[in-house]
Structure 1
């Protein structure tokens, strides 16, 4: 049941994000049940999650109605995943890269001040692993180290709001790889900047850490601004 529920939720979520059904379209539990062959209970659970994500609203008299993008919980990992799977994925990554540029440099500056000794050591280890796997073109392994690196940086900031962004950053990183928005081999400059961030945090240099992360985020933003090859 959990697998069936998840597949129905993913399918309807992706459709709404893709604009079909469009905003103001009415949905019914009966219609969902008939199309996907699920019970009314499963259909209701799917709608409840969609309501919590801002993709639909459910009212006693008007029923279930699809909502426009301004209502979506765009920071939720599920909504991010659906948006990154849409035809607008490049624009979405660009938008999220702008957000990262505004936030991550500040977070790493805080990490340089507040990280524990264990976190500082782990960051350097992850940066070294990124260099190893990246230089060999092992994109899957590089991605896992990259996700862990950014998650740890946000946690090491000591700020719970930044730490909660880890899921969003992970979806962006995975989405770039899954949808072929990453180069076949991570660029040497990007790997070098990750190492600079790790070293600056490890050595307690917030300004250097902030500058290196700003450069890294700006490079990603520039890549997303360029037309696809």
Structure 2
């Protein structure tokens, strides 16, 4: 991680943790001394955080932090910071609710539309998942699992639903699923069989299977 990325990551985490609370001024000169970074690097990092809705800046006025409701809730970095932050358990529950809303319907549409490229991507991802399980390679499984779910969402054929693969993949990368194959295989098989009802139900059961692992909020 280079210096620019490290500044973005540390400031993002501090904002999520509340160490840098709402309305906290961020002075480039002070941050430069803290991180031993030039003003240019600091300002670039602040611009990244501004693009995520976490800070705002005005010429000749300054830069300060913004409240959570202003943050880009589906930005991958924001998701990762929140999952690993003080309210991580609650945020995991919200992500699970999002997935339960999106993925079963995506599976239904995927079985209906049968987009060859995305179905091939799902099948290839599943094979990589199976290989990772056989080798006991958790990291490889999580990478392939992320692609499996992303391909499923893209296979819906709905451009708006497809955009939601971003928070789903971010959620999986921030807090991966257990090494499970049977439920994934069932989803893939039913999508390929054009069984829309079955694919939707199988996707929902898959998500309910991994829900306890995600420690949903009570």
**Would you say same fold, with TM above 0.5?**
yes
Say whether the 8 Å CA contact 1:84–1:92 is kept in structure 2: yes
Deviation at 1:138, TM superposition (A): 2.9
Q: Which residues in structure 2 correspond to 1:195-214 (within 5 Å)? A: 195-214=185-204
SS for the counterpart of 2:2 is: helix
User: Equivalent residue of 1:27, what SS?
Assistant: coil
Q: Distance in 1 between matches of 2:2 and 2:187?
A: 40
CA distance in 1, matches of 2:124, 2:29: 53
Q: Which residue of 2 aligns with 1:119?
A: 118
Shift of 1:79: 1.0
Deviations 1:86-139 (CA, angstroms, capped at 9, x unpaired): 233222211101111011111111111223234334423433443453365432
Match of 1:89 in 2: 88
TM norm structure 1: 0.85
Which residue of the partner structure matches residue 9 of structure 1? Answer: 8
| CA offset digits 1:134-185 (Å, max 9, x no partner) | 36543222212211111111111112222222232222112224xxxx55xx
2:7–2:45 CA contact under 8 A, matched in 1: yes
Could you say what the CA RMSD is over the residues aligned between the two structures, in angstroms? 2.2
**Superposed structure 1 runs of 4+ greater than 6 Å apart:** none
Are residues 1:221 and 2:208 paired? no
Report which stretch shifted further, 40-49 or 137-146: 137-146
Q: Find the counterpart in structure 2 of residue 47 from structure 1.
A: 46
Within 1, Cα distance between the matches of 2:46 and 2:121? 41
1:17-62 CA-to-partner distances (Å, cap 9, x unmatched) read 1111111111111111111111111111111111111101112364
Instruction: Name the CA distance, whole Å, in 1 between partners of 2:11 and 2:211.
Output: 30
- 2 CA distance for matches of 1:129 and 1:200? 19
Query: Could you tell me the TM-score, scaled by structure 2's length?
Result: 0.89
Q: Is the 8 A contact 1:124 1:199 kept in 2?
A: no
Q: Out of 91-100 and 52-61, give the one that drifted further.
A: 52-61
Question: Unaligned regions of 5+ residues in structure 2, if any?
Answer: none
Using the TM superposition, give the Cα deviation of residue 216 of structure 1 relative to its aligned residue in structure 2, in angstroms. Answer: 1.5
- Note the residue ranges of structure 1 that are not aligned, 5 or more in a row: none
